[in-house]
Structure 1
Amino acid sequence: MFTSFHKVFIVAAFLLTACGTKKAEEAPAEEEAHDPNVVELTSEQYKMSGVQVGQILSINLSNYIKANGTIDAPPQMHVSITSPYGGIIKSTTALEGKFIGKGQVVATLENPEFIQIQQDYLESSSQLTYLSQDLKRQEELVREHIAAAKSLQRARSEYNTMVARVEGLRSQLRLIGISPASVRSGKFTSRVSITAPIGGYVTHVLSNVGKFVSANEVIADMVNTNDLHAEIKVFEKDIVRVQKGQRIRFRATGDSIERNAEVYLIGKDIGADRTVDVHGHLTMPPRNLLPGMFISAVIETGAAATPAVPAEAVVQAGGKSYIFILEEGTAEKHEEGKKEEAGHAGEGKEGEGEGKEEGPHYTFRRVEIVAGVTENGYTAITLPESFKAGAKIVFKGAYDLLSKMNNSEEEGGH
């Protein structure tokens, strides 16, 4: 016979076993691990979001090569201002960033030697006049057999020597910017003007007033920006795809505007960094670009069919590109759930109360991709190897899903 103590013990054991079983059953359902790449929408949320899905498209988009480079000017547009003779700088108009037109004065130079050259020229010119007259006289005397032919030869030699001297001095005067006619009129000067051989902007000033500059020492540097070009460095593995006439799209550092150029010349030498120089002519040279500016460029090498999606289907997060795909069977599971609800509708009030809470109906997964060129509203993409053919991709509403995903992460993944 069981005593009262035995009955109490059995009841207590039964209750403990029941509680343990209930806790064991509820434990797995407490909380499932949250997948940070998944976002879920109920049927009502799906309708309100306006999400539209589709499959990967095959569209002819440009193939391209990414490269870096600089804005530059041709060598003939870079000029160093020098003087063929040394002297002291007496004045200068050179200022970095200033535009100086062709033929305008950059600096004035003073040197006493300039006076000596002018004096030598004037004296030599006078002697040349005398020797010219003497040559004519000797020719007349030889014709009349009064003088020997040797005298005529000496006179002609002296005259030719002086002609060469005068021409040399005249060239020196013109080289330093002094007019020979002015010297013949008796106007001597110890100062000369150094003028700009081209129109352009001063980039470097290497002299100042009072400084002595030697012959051919650089006074200032100038550049003409009317013929800028893009100098791009292309890696050797890509150079075989580059051809003359291809389009170049580039952006300068800090510039929000995309500009265009055209491949004009392709280098024939590989540099130490394993790149080849590609010279591109700018289609419309803008005034705000300067030589030396760093640029990021894309060379279009032709069009080919490539996997693509609408541009709005690609979202950016954390410096990476993503698309959203609709998980297989989520819509079908939703329909099955509705049928099961309808089947339990007449089981009583308790059944109705339990069936009102709806679970997620549409599940979307975020997938990382590599975004390529964007043209005419479509973006070329490179898909991961795990991507399943025929998967439904969110074409419209991707940023809404990304926003909901970010909000869910802030709330702790619930």
Structure 2
Amino acid sequence: MRQNTMILALLLLMTACGSKNEAENEAEEAEVEVEVTDVTLTDAQVKKLEIAFGPLPMHEFAGEVEANGKLAVAPQSQASVSPVVGGNIRQILVHEGQKVAKGQVLATLSHPDMLDVQSRYLDAHNRLIYVGAEYERQKKLYNEHVGSGREYQQVTSEYRQLQGQLRTTAAQLRMMGISPESVAEGKTVTAIALRAPISGIVELISAQTGQYVDSQQEVFHIVNFNDIYADLLVFEKDLPRIRVGQAVNFELKSSCGDKFTGKITSIGRIFDNNPKATHVRATIEGPDHEFAEGLYLCGKIATDTQQASALSTEGVVDYAGKTYAFTATHATGQWTFHPVEVTRIREEKGFVEIQPAHTPQSGTQFALSGAYYILSEMKKAETGEED
């Protein structure tokens, strides 16, 4: 029993040691993977590789502010279409997604109330003809001091009352799209047209044939996508850099790399609390696109230019998941290059804004080009290869 216990203890000890050694080996391998060393090149090699030197230069970058948002349509470019009077839908003449022009008939409606308004107008119109003639007669008699003043007052009151009724019913008919003149001629309209108030796309039809709809019930919703715009959210800290007229580059989050341009047209002054941001409106320029309201987008607003430390793309290189530049010192016919870890901030027109892990001393020389070749020489030195 004691012997078995000792064997078990030895096995556990060996396993623990093995695990420790494996962990140490993995750590060492990880360190080796990212290890970088100095590289020495002769003047002749540097000349052949055409490596340029100089202090870390400053480059003028176009400033930009990133802003997310979505596509939106202004209220004046949308229309909710409702009948002015309740009625039953007799016919629907369009379908969802169809383009319509302003004034186009979308549907027809009918209801006895429409006939009632026409009847009241015609009655007032005909009575006004008779009462109007009587009014003129009584007025003439009154002016000649022949007729009774009481009769003249009565007919005047009735005449003006009928005029008011005629104006009111005529306005109701015009709101329904019925010509009062046609009704006066005895032409009765049994159905009225529901017309598009704007040009655009029929986005919604919320009724069906035969259904009764109230005067305030939406039957159609029309959107004019020609006036679609980008509604961007700009954070409070970035707002001082934003101006009307600045260019915007953006792309839809649902697209495959399609990019669009626009310009800022207005800047909101009311902040949302979460996040602390305000709405910025930008136009969409260029050819027509099949955009839809509510699509999410990410934009970059071009602001004032900024000076920043930068190297050309030939002066930086990626290695083992990190980015490096090389400082350079010269002595006795050779150059020594020291790899310096840097962070890529942005890239523009062949230049990369960088932020060194440690601030370089004044007068430090950098390799302004040839970073890829210097890295290749460093790898050769690590593996013991020779040219």
Query: RMSD across aligned C-alpha pairs, in angstroms?
Result: 3.5
Q: Distance in 1 between matches of 2:134 and 2:288?
A: 65
- Residue 277, structure 1, aligned to residue 279, structure 2: yes
Alpha-carbon separation, structure 1, partners of 2:268 and 2:290? 27
CA distance in 2, matches of 1:315, 1:132: 98
Give the match for residue 136 of structure 2.
Answer: 136
Indicate how the Cα distance of structure 1 residues 202 and 308 shifts in structure 2: closer, same or farther if over 3 A, else same.
farther
Q: Choose between structure 1 and 2: higher strand proportion.
A: 2
CA shift, 1:153, in A, is: 2.1
Alignment partner of 2:366 out of 392, 399, 405 = 392
Q: Which residue of 1 aligns with 2:151?
A: 151
Map 1:68-147; keep pairs closer than 5 Å.
Answer: 68-147=68-147
Between the aligned partners of 1:68 and 1:399, the Cα distance in structure 2 is 40
Deviation at 1:249, TM superposition (A): 1.8
Contact persistence 1:231–1:280 (CA under 8 A): yes
Go from structure 1 to structure 2 and tell me whether the alpha carbon gap of 1:375 and 1:386 turns closer, same or farther (over 3 Å shift).
closer
Cα pair 2:139 2:152 within 8 Å, conserved: yes
The 3-state SS of whatever aligns with 1:282 is coil
CA distance in 1, matches of 2:373, 2:70: 36
Q: How far off its partner does 1:57 sit?
A: 2.9
* Aligned residue identity for 1:76: Q
Contact 2:241 2:304 in 1 (8 A): no
Q: Would you say the 8 A contact 2:265–2:282 is kept in 1?
A: yes
Deviation of the 1:162 alpha carbon: 1.0
Per the alignment, in what secondary structure is the counterpart of residue 125 of structure 1? helix
Q: Please say if residues 89 and 209 of structure 1, whose CA atoms lie closer than 8 Å, have aligned partners that are also in contact.
A: yes
User: Per the alignment, in what secondary structure is the counterpart of residue 178 of structure 1?
Assistant: coil
Moved more, 292-301 or 388-397: 388-397
Residue pair 1:50, 1:397 contacting (<8 A) in 2 also: no
* Cα distance in structure 1, aligned partners of 2:249 and 2:140: 79
The residue aligned with 2:292 is: 290
Conservation of the 8 A alpha-carbon contact between 2:326 and 2:340: no
The whole-number CA distance in structure 1 between the counterparts of 2:51 and 2:102 is 63
Distance (Å, rounded) in 2 between the aligned partners of 1:263 and 1:286: 18
User: What is the DSSP-based 3-state SS (H/G/I as helix, E as strand, rest coil) of the residue aligned with 1:174?
Assistant: helix
Q: Name the residue aligned to 1:245.
A: 245
Does the aligned pair in 2 maintain the 1:325–1:391 contact within 8 Å? no
1:183/1:394 Cα in 2 relative to 1: closer, same or farther (>3 Å)? same
Q: In structure 2, do the counterparts of structure 1 residues 315 and 65 end up closer, same or farther at CA, with 3 Å as the change threshold? A: farther
Letter paired with 1:369: T
Change (3 A) 1:296 1:391: farther
Q: Secondary structure at the match of 1:270?
A: strand
2:163, 2:361 → 1: CA distance? Answer: 92
Q: Cα deviations across residues 287-314 of structure 1 (Å, max 9, x unaligned)?
A: 2222222111112220122222335666
**1:164 maps to what in 2?**
164
1:268 counterpart SS class? strand
The number of aligned residues is 344
For residues 168-317 of structure 1, the aligned pairs below 5 Å read 168-253=168-253, 254-273=255-274, 274-284=276-286, 286-311=288-313
Q: Distance in 1 between matches of 2:368 and 2:327?
A: 11
Partner residue of 2:33 out of 32, 35, 45: 35
Preserved contact between residue 313 and residue 323 of structure 1 (Cα < 8 Å): no
Classify 1:198/1:58 alpha carbon distance in 2 versus 1 (closer, same or farther; 3 Å).
same
Distance 1:289 1:51, change over 3 A: farther
- 2:283 counterpart SS class: strand
- TM-score norm. by structure 2 comes to 0.76
Is the contact between residue 326 and residue 338 of structure 2 (CA under 8 Å) also seen in structure 1? yes
1:335/1:400 Cα in 2 relative to 1: closer, same or farther (>3 Å)? closer
Identity %, equivalent residues? 25
* C-alpha spacing 1:40/1:208, structure 2 compared with 1 (3 Å): farther
Counterpart of 1:341? none
| TM superposition shift of 1:198 | 0.8
Which secondary structure does the structure 1 equivalent of 2:178 belong to?
Answer: coil
Residue equivalent to 1:381: 354
Change (3 A) 1:298 1:123: same
More off after superposition, 151-160 vs 280-289: 280-289
Question: 2-side partners of 1:249 and 1:399: how far apart?
Answer: 35
Q: CA deviation at 1:155?
A: 1.5
Question: How far apart are 1:135 and its partner, in Å?
Answer: 0.7
Return closer, same or farther for 1:37/1:123 CA change in 2, 3 Å cut-off: farther
State the shift of 1:388 in Å. Answer: 6.3
- Cα distance, 1:395 vs structure 2: 4.3
Report Cα offsets for 1:357-410 as digits up to 9, x if no partner: xxxxx98858351422x44333433443456663635746759969x99xx9xx
Judge which range, 199-208 or 143-152, deviates more.
Answer: 143-152
Query: Equivalent residue of 1:137, what SS?
Result: helix
* Counterpart residue identity of residue 349, structure 2: N
Shift of 1:258: 2.8
User: 1:165 deviation in Å?
Assistant: 0.9
Q: What pairs up with 1:323-338 in 2 under 5 angstroms?
A: 323-326=323-326
